[in-house]
């Protein structure tokens, strides 16, 4: 599906309670360069995401990918 030359993707989000009872994801703390980061591993996911504030705290820079991805969450909202 394409709209305005942007690839459409759907993002599903979970509440903390949903993560606690989920059997198909793993959540926890991961130490990355001496920074404890809350992570959610989903082995069925096709993409990985990291919050910009974590990138900044790690002293890294982000860069844009070649394609712009328009994200829609399961509630129909987009970002």
List the chain pLDDT tens, one digit each, 79 residues: 444 555 666 667 778 888 888 888 888 899 999 999 989 888 888 778 888 889 999 998 877 666 666 666 656 665 5
Whether residue 67 contacts residue 7, with contact meaning beta carbons closer than 8 Å, is answered with yes
63, 56 Cβ separation under 8 angstroms: no
Q: How far is CA 62 from CA 13, 30, 38, 40, in A?
A: 22, 20, 19, 20
Please give the Cα distance from 41 to 35 (Å, whole number).
18
CB 41 within 8 A of CB 27: yes
pLDDT tens, position by position, 32-41: 999 999 898 8
């Amino acid at each position: 599906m394409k709209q305005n030359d942007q690839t459409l993707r759907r993002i599903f989000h979970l509440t903390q309670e949903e993560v606690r009872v989920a059997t198909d994801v793993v959540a926890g703390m991961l130490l990355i360069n001496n920074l404890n980061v809350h992570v959610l591993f989903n082995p069925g996911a096709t993409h990985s995401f990291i919050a910009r504030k974590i990138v900044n705290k790690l002293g890294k820079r982000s860069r844009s990918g070649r394609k712009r991805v328009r994200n829609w969450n399961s509630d129909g909202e987009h970002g």
